[in-house]
Amino acid sequence: MAMDIDQLIADCAAAVTDSSPTKAVRETLARAVSDRAGLIQALGEPKQGGIQRLHVSDYLTVLNVIWPPRMTLMPHNHNMWATIGVYGGREDNIFWRRLPGDSRGRIEAAGAKSLGPADVRPLGRDIIHSVTNPTAKLTGALHVYGGDFFSTERSEWDPENLEERPYDIDRNVKYFEEANKGLG
What are the boundaries of each domain within the chain? 5-180
pLDDT band at 83, cuts 50/70/90?
Answer: very high
Q: How far apart are CA 68 and CA 49, in angstroms?
A: 5
Say how many C-beta atoms besides its own lie within 10 A of residue 106's C-beta: 15
For position 92, what pLDDT does the model report?
97
**For the whole model, what pTM was predicted?**
0.94
pLDDT in tens, 140-171: 999 999 999 999 999 999 999 999 999 998 88
Write the CA distances from 77 to 19, 70, 72, 107, 155, integer angstroms: 23, 21, 15, 12, 6
Q: Is residue 169 helix, strand or coil? A: helix
Among the listed residues 179, 167, 2, the one whose alpha carbon sits nearest the alpha carbon of residue 74:
167
pLDDT band at 93, cuts 50/70/90?
Answer: very high
Q: How far apart are CA 129 and CA 55, in angstroms?
A: 23
Give mean pLDDT, residues 81-110. Answer: 95
Q: Percent of the chain scored above 90 by pLDDT?
A: 88
Which CATH fold topology does 5-180 show? Jelly Rolls (2.60.120)
